[in-house]
Amino acid sequence: MVVRGSAWRAAILHVTKAEASAPVAATPTTLGIDTDAMEGRAVFGMLSVLSELQRELTAANTMDDLASARARGRVGGSRPKLTADQAALAQQLDDTRDKTVQQIADLFGLPHSTVYGHLKGETVPCQPKKPWKGRSRDGAEVLFVVVDVPASTQRDPEEESVHRALEGYYRTGKPPWDTGVTPPELVDLVEGHGALPPGRVLELGCGTGTNATYLARHGWEVAAVDLIDRAVDQARKKAAAAGVAVRLLHGDATRLDELDVPGPFDLFFDLSCYCGVPLHRRDAYAAGLTHRAAPGARLLMFGYGPEPLGNPIPEVTSWAAGVTADELRARFPGWELLDVTPGTNSVPTFWFTLRRDA
């Protein structure tokens, strides 16, 4: 930590002037600092320095955040909005699952959050509209036509809650599962005795790309998926800095058919993704992997057991359910559960290894 000289000089002047003045008995009761004593005056001066330092650090961090936001293309001002026709088309594409939310956002050249914010809650019935012209992100002119489709029901509230919770973790920069260190269980599978030969791997819930980058460094052809665009952006930067090729996709691990990940894959890696998936989407997760698994493919999954920490987000019931070996046997027919190893965490966690039938 570097403290500016002006702040230290201010503290020295504060103490010097206090000593030169006539003693004044002033004892703040909240901190218990006796400013009638030299030590108390010195402490009080240091508190002034720390307060000034905190103010300067806050200002510096704010400017850094602004610079980072501008580097990502943020310009401030009012949030971009969808026109009525764009909103109707976005709703139609989402209802029919023709495109992912990110693909819709790319189509309009708008942030993912703008489109996603519109799609929350009940969907909007689409009415016939006249064709209208717009431009895609690459500048090409596109003709849009909205047709009449039935209004769909409200988007699943638990899926929305999961998305909001995960976005919150990455917004604060403290996702507990994203330590920046590749777990030894994956290292052993890639480098240890009887290691798998490099092949094609799909990581589910890749976060900021630590493990995807590690796998690419060790000769694997890597595709990686995450639900949160902020995490995918960081993963792209991490892979680029490491000089490795990683195919990073922003999307839902339970809706792989919406993404360009046809397979087959020799390895699937999941670090706390499945255990955060809503219960009603877990069969779709398993089916997506099974459809893309090469004969004999491995799935290495880390997850926590039922209710390790209570349930911090009550509306996300799956987070209280966790994951068990019996559940994986039931949801992954055609796979063999080879191993269950307890984790080293303070709460019940497990490493599961499954193998697809040949």
The DSSP-derived string for 300-355 is: EEEEE-SSSS--SSTT-THHHH---HHHHHHH-TTEEEEEEEE-SSSS-EEEEEEE
The pLDDT, as a whole number, for residue 296 is: 97
pLDDT on residue 322:
84
- Residue 76 has a pLDDT of 59
Task: Name the E strands within the chain.
Answer: 132-135, 141-144, 200-204, 221-226, 246-250, 265-271, 293-304, 335-342, 349-356
38 or 132, which is more confident: 38
Please tell me whether the overall predicted TM-score, pTM, comes out greater than 0.95 for this model.
Answer: no
**Can you tell me which residue has the tokens 């559940």?**
327
> How many whole angstroms separate alpha carbon 306 and alpha carbon 322?
4
- Choice between 130 and 205, residue whose per-residue pLDDT is larger: 205
Quick count: other Cβ atoms within 10 Å of Cβ 229?
19
- The percentage of the chain sitting over the pLDDT mark of 70, rounded to a whole number, equals 65
- Give the pLDDT score at 254: 94
Q: Please enumerate in sequence order all residues whose Cβ is within 8 A of that of 165, keeping only pairs 6 or more positions apart, or say none.
A: 313, 316
| Higher-pLDDT residue of 146, 221 | 221
Q: What's the mean pLDDT in 90-114?
A: 72
Residue 289 confidence (pLDDT): 98
pLDDT of residue 307: 64
**Which token pair is 282?**
């877990």
What pLDDT, on the 0 to 100 scale, is given for residue 115? 73
Specify the 3-state DSSP secondary structure of 120.
coil
Q: In angstroms, rounded to a whole number, what is the distance separating the alpha carbons of residues 112 and 170?
A: 15
Q: Is the pLDDT of residue 125 over 60?
A: no
Q: What is the pLDDT of residue 198?
A: 97
Please determine, for residue 136, whether its predicted confidence score (pLDDT) is greater than 50: no
- In this predicted structure, what is the pLDDT of residue 7? 40
Q: How does pLDDT run across 203-253, given as a tens digit for each residue?
A: 999 999 999 999 999 999 999 999 999 999 999 999 999 999 999 999 999
**pLDDT at res. 294:** 97
Q: How confident is the model over 20-76, as pLDDT tens digits?
A: 444 444 444 445 556 666 666 665 566 665 666 666 667 777 777 777 767 766 665
Mean pLDDT of the chain: 76
* pLDDT single digits (tens) 253-267: 999 999 989 889 999
pLDDT in tens, 284-314: 999 999 999 999 999 999 998 876 555 555 5
